[in-house]
Structure 1
Amino acid sequence: MSLHELFHSCKTGDIQKVRSLVEDRDVDVNVRDKWDSIPLYYACLCGHRQVVQYLLEHGAKCEANTFDGERCVYGALTDDIRNLLRSYKAISNRLMRRDQFDEFLRKLLDSGAHADVVFDVHGEKFAAHRCILSARCPYFAELFHSKWQGRHTIDLRHKLMVPWAFQSILQYLYTGRLETHLDFVEDCVRLARQCQLESLVSLMEDALKKTLDFQSTKVGVSVTTLVVEQPPTSLSLQVELGQLAEAALPPSFCSWVSGELPFEQQLSQPFADVAFDVEGHRFLCHKVFVCERSDYFQALLEDHFGEATSSSTHTHTMDSDNDSENDNIPVIALKDISAHVFYRVLTYIYQDSCELTEDTTHDVLCAADIYLLPGLKRLCGLALARMTGVDTVVWMVRAARLFSLPRLEASCFEFIANNLPEVVEQQEFANLVLEDAEQVKGRQETDSIDIIDEIRFYVANVVNCVSDLQDADHKLRLIDALLEDLGLDG
């Protein structure tokens, strides 16, 4: 329903609704409808410049010389919008936080941080990570454990192997997205087939056909760049990288994960270069993920806190079925966290999501705060919002403030407004109002109490008919009565 509302709001120019859907409900601005159109296209087509600019600032993809970019420019109702599209060179700093994982993978490919293998393709060098390539492509996994085993530099000199195609394939394996010039598509398809990436071959062939068909029917349009992305509903990238988190599990804890592990036993714990000891259980991980995703672990592994130890001196021995390549990696002992919670933290680090239940969400939230993982904190906030109840809403407001989760706090205020007759009877709620009132002492007498203002806003926001008006009036009277009982002027 939210997706339909986003497309409709872009067509009508309802910027407030668009903002609410994107920022409050996390609707993807690059989602596609059954006609393969994105919201930005409809905003351009209908001439809503404000909506176009908002979508661009929040991550809408509209690169020049691509199918989506040229389609938006061609269909734009006004020259002002066309100029805006053409001049928009970079994604704004206000890009939604949900895209941080994509940005992390993109930067990882560009920087080569913690790379453990270098491909030399006719003199051009590409730094990469064996764990990522193995998780994403069985062909690479097989070669790393056979022909390429133990090699840091791999020479690729075959005459059909071209650097630009190899770079595009790497881009796809890291980000789930491939971008290449139309003249190089044939080289990319050939290499994808060699790497046994048949799904990528199908995506490229479909995208090429769509692009050429569009270009042939639009005079003056020149598409020179082919962009291939997996469907927005596809989670194959996250799932395949999440295999690394599953493989990090100690053998004694594999029962946590439903089904069998995705790696053959001889390929388990692939290319780990750091271990974490939690409650006596050892998790074999990769610096490229834990360090680049968390400033806490980055500092920890640089030994700023002096907590790293060599596995050769650690009293806990390696499990007998682990690969010998993992025998000499550093071991970090983590305290004040359970193995179950740490596994969920690892799952988030590798695949940007994790399972959150009522029993674990608070503990995971505390760990996310300690380990400097704002994205995981945000996921916990969304999970808590879904668990809100009359008996827990005041506690959740306090948690939202403690952990700086404004979206959870706003969700709690809306819940209180919708359930005010029950909540207003609670002493905990009265105490919270008194605490907020203390914050305004010393200000002007006209200052109001924050929580009361927020609740009144949500009470008034749902008034659509006479019965709603009567219900809102009743709730506002309840608020006034509470403030009078507390001796407050709100």
Structure 2
Amino acid sequence: MTAAAVLDKHQLEQALYEERQAVSSGALKEENPLDTSGEFRALCEACRRGDLRSCQEQIDKCANINAKDEYDYTPLILASLCGHYEVVRMLLEQGARCERDTFQGERCLYNALNDRIRDLLLSYDYAKSTDPLQPLAAHITSLLGREQPRTSDIAIVGGETTLQLHKFILSARSPYMRRELSKTPNIKKLRLEASSASIRASMRFLYLSELGAEWENAGSHEIGELSKRLEVPQLEEHSIQTSDRRVGRQRRTAELERARDQLEVWLDEHVIKHKFEVDSNKIDEVRWELGNSAFADVLLRAEDEAWEDKDEANRLATQLAEVDLQDDGKKGKACASMPGQRRSTLYPAHRAMLLRSEVFATMFSSPFREGQENRNLQVIPVDCSPEVLEIVLRFLYTEQATFPLSLALKVLQVADMLFIERLKQRAALLISTLGNGTASVAIKAGDEQEEEDVNIYDIVRVGWDTRVQRLEEFGARYLAYRLERYIEEPEFQELVLESASRITRRQEIDSVELIDDIRYYLSERFRLRMEDSGLNEMLDDEPNPEGKESRPTNEQPQTDFAGGRVRALNDELAGDEFAQNAIDYQILLDRIDRLMEHLGLDG
């Protein structure tokens, strides 16, 4: 990293002055507004401490990730200044801005604690850090030219141009279209009086396409008339070109957010609101025709999770049937209140949005039943609960997904099954932050065990099955920071054996990936406390020849500073916390070695 890669202080001050002048004149929108809310203060404090879990919790409470406090610090600047790499990465993945041509972006780079964080900030370009809705916009724009599979259901005619479009998108984006289409849901063609160029530019705008030359070809007067007729004032505003790149980007971002909100309202009012339940054995009797009020062209089916295990349900019903109930002296059977059939929930959906999943895209393009058009909507089963399917639908329609940690693993598995990579990474991010617990603090012997929010064994296995490297790393780090609690458990030993079996044609010299990762994070756990204490050399000494878990043989007797000594994992007194960490580190390494020997593994 050269010195020229970061602006000098006087250049930062000049950038700040120019930015404030542009904001005060109204030419620019304030991208980092002052926020004094309790949620934002808690977010800033969590970024100072490096508390991943608290950061995610405050973001879930809608704290503005790009706001600033009264000292002009953004959460990203605080995390980079304090050297919390994982927090910086999480903030960037959640949409925190770090742009080279802004004061706050240059300040973030200038204040980064080390080169590792600075390189991470530089690696997040505009598309990654400031435009999280771009994938949604790109998909909607691609529908304009997609011929296979066919998803359009209305032709918009203007001049000599005929565009094959989608009723639900037009209805969500334009109040005029919403009224017209609600009157005649079965309409196949709609004419707008305007030139071909104006119609093309206007429809591309509604489909979130980035327009340049199209505005020049379309007459400004006609665009203004269409803007009023469609009741989309932003259409006319965007037709006025600007030479300022940042102004254009802010316009674009604001329009994407507005479109996202419109699609979310449509999803809630026409998809989620119109879901309905039926007995699973009566699915074939369901009839929904094309031209319905939701403009849906497919029904997605989710099974009621309470009835996924039919044998268990039957057993429970049998047990309850044997229980006598007293009601005014008369005996009855409990089975009368037991639902007799498994239930399914059906959601009216749109193939155009489901195409964001590679599985659905392949399914609808195939010559099989799912790829054929029928008068009645086809029912497509999705192997998940209604709660999880709603999360998936919300992500496909809006690029947003907020869900609790308890559902994160299920969402991850369904996203992997449907090949929705961004949702898969979102679920992995949630697990590795909310599930982090107190991973930043070593669990001390004798401390009361915290309540577990996650089953770490399930997380590691799902990470292997779904090929999510982030989960594998999180699992190893989580176990390393709590190794004394888990290493004696049979489930931990089974996990180590599973990790060893994942190596095809395993050789004697092959190591076990999980154990290698745990050793690395175990070293990190203790190195953070010992690097500057001069105790690292203690780890190079041989342990007690008797094989007892005791202090290294060269350790000098420690002085009891007013009874301030602490105990190591083997219950021996250590002179201070640094000495305790050195002893504990060696003890845990010895336990790992003995475990590997017990399992008959090398490495």
- The aligned residue for residue 284 of structure 1 is 348
The alpha carbon displacement at 1:167 in A equals 4.0
CA distance in 2, matches of 1:193, 1:238: 21
Any unmatched runs of 5+ in structure 2? 1-43, 48-65, 67-73, 278-290, 303-342, 437-451, 534-577
More deviation, 50-59/113-122: 50-59
Alignment root-mean-square deviation, CA:
4.8
Q: Hey, what's the Cα distance between the residues in 1 that align with 2:127 and 2:387?
A: 35
- Within the candidate set 143, 147, 152, 1:108 is matched to 143
Deviations 1:85-116 (A, max 9, x none): xxxxxxxxxxx998543332232234365222
**Does the CA contact (< 8 Å) of 2:93 and 2:129 recur in 1?**
no
| Counterpart-to-counterpart distance in 2, 1:145 and 1:375 | 34
- From the superposition, tell whether residues 435 and 243 of structure 1 become closer, same or farther in structure 2 (CA, over 3 Å): same
CA contact (8 A) 1:43 1:51 kept: no
Aligned to 2:499: 436
Aligned counterpart, 1:416? 479
Partner of residue 361, structure 2: 298
State whether residues 361 and 383 of structure 1, in contact with CA within 8 Å, keep that contact through their aligned partners in structure 2. yes
1:270 aligns with 2:305: no
Letter in 2 for 1:286: H
1:163 aligns with 2:197: yes
Deviation at 1:336, TM superposition (A): 4.7
The residue number in structure 2 matching 1:173 is 206
Q: Say whether the 8 Å CA contact 1:308–1:331 is kept in structure 2.
A: no
**Alignment partner of 1:228 out of 251, 254, 271:** 251
Whole-angstrom CA distance in 2 between matches of 1:32 and 1:408: 29
How far does the alpha carbon of each residue in 1:401-441 deviate from its partner, in whole angstroms, 9 at most, with x for none?
Answer: 11222212222222223333333343322332233345568
The alignment status of 1:26 with 2:90, answered yes or no, reads no
Between the aligned partners of 1:53 and 1:245, the Cα distance in structure 2 is: 36
Aligned counterpart, 2:419: 372
Q: Distance in 1 between matches of 2:77 and 2:474?
A: 24
Aligned to 2:168: 131
State the shift of 1:288 in Å. 1.1
Kindly tell me: are residues 412 and 284 of structure 1, through their superposed partners in 2, closer, same or farther at Cα, counting changes over 3 Å?
same
| Alpha carbons of structure 1 residues 37 and 125: separation in structure 2 relative to 1, 3 Å | farther
Residue 400 of structure 2 corresponds to 353
Decide whether aligned partners of structure 1 residues 108 and 400 sit closer, same or farther in structure 2, where only a CA change above 3 A counts.
Answer: same
Amino acid at match of 1:248: V
**Cα shift at 1:143:** 2.5
Give 1:139's aligned amino acid.
Y
- Secondary structure at the aligned position of 1:111 is classed as coil
| Alpha-carbon offset, residue 354 of structure 1 | 3.5
The whole-number CA distance in structure 1 between the counterparts of 2:454 and 2:189 is 60
Q: Provide the C-alpha distance between the structure 2 equivalents of 1:340 and 1:143, rounded to a whole number of angstroms.
A: 33
2:378 aligned with 1:331, yes or no?
Answer: yes
* Matching residue's letter, 2:231: Q
C-alpha displacement of 1:141: 0.9
| 428, 431, 435: which one aligns with 1:387 | 435
| Alpha-carbon distance in structure 2 between the residues aligned to 1:268 and 1:31 | 45
User: How many equivalent residue pairs?
Assistant: 403
Q: 1:312-343 deviations in whole A, cap 9, x for unaligned?
A: xxxxxxxxxxxxxxxx3332252754434333
The one of 114, 125, 142 equivalent to 2:179 is 142
Unaligned runs of 5+ in 1: 62-95, 215-222, 255-266, 312-327
When residues 277 and 31 of structure 1 are mapped into structure 2, their CA distance, relative to the original with a 3 A threshold, is same
Mean Cα deviation higher: 23-32 or 279-288: 23-32
Q: Over residues 51-103 of structure 1, what are the superposed CA-to-partner deviations in whole Å (9 max), with x where a residue is unaligned?
A: 89844596478xxxxxxxxxxxxxxxxxxxxxxxxxxxxxxxxxx99854333
- SS of 1:271's equivalent in the other structure is coil
Q: Indicate the residue corresponding to 2:59 in structure 1.
A: none
Q: Distance in 1 between matches of 2:513 and 2:228?
A: 60
Q: Distance in 2 between matches of 1:390 and 1:277?
A: 30
How far apart in 2 are the matches of 1:122 and 1:436? 65
Aligned residue number for residue 231 of structure 2: 196
Counterpart of 1:330 in 2: which secondary structure?
A: coil
In the alignment, residue 170 of structure 1 is paired with which amino acid?
M
1:407 corresponds to which residue?
470
The residue that corresponds to 2:267 in the other structure is: 245
CA distance in 1 between partners of 2:458 and 2:162 (Å): 54
With over 3 angstroms needed to count, the CA separation of the structure-2 counterparts of 1:25 and 1:172, relative to structure 1, is same
SS at structure 1 position matched to 2:164: strand
Distance of 2:383 and 2:119 partners within structure 1: 49
Deviation for aligned residue 1:177: 5.9
Structure 2: distance between partners of 1:121 and 1:238: 27
1:247-285, Cα deviation, whole Å (9 max, x unpaired): 12464759xxxxxxxxxxxx9842122223554544222
C-alpha deviation, 1:397, in angstroms: 0.6
1:214-235: CA deviation from partner (whole Å, max 9, x where unpaired):
9xxxxxxxx9x88731349x84
Output one character per residue of 1:103-159: Cα deviation in whole Å (capped at 9) or x when no partner: 32232234365222233333244332110111122222113234x76543433334x
C-alpha contact 2:174 2:230 (8 A) present in aligned 1: yes
Structure 1 position 302, deviation (Å): 5.0
Contact 2:158–2:192 under 8 Å retained in 1? yes
Letter in 2 for 1:237: A
What residue identity is the alignment partner of 1:329? N
- Mapped to 2, the partners of 1:152 and 1:391 lie a distance apart of 51
**For 1:299 and 1:305, how far apart are their aligned partners in 2?**
10
Q: Shift of the alpha carbon at 1:181? A: 7.5
What is residue 88 of structure 1 aligned with on the other side? none
- State the partner residue of 1:120: 157
Contact 1:242/1:347 (<8 A) preserved: yes
Alpha-carbon distance in structure 2 between the residues aligned to 1:250 and 1:150: 21
TM-score, normalising length: structure 2? 0.54
Letter in 1 for 2:496: V
Q: Which amino acid aligns with 1:283?
A: Y
Amino acid at match of 2:590: D
Is contact 1:299-1:305 (8 Å) kept?
A: no
Measured after TM superposition, the shift of residue 443 of structure 1 is 3.5
Distance (Å, rounded) in 1 between the aligned partners of 2:353 and 2:127:
25
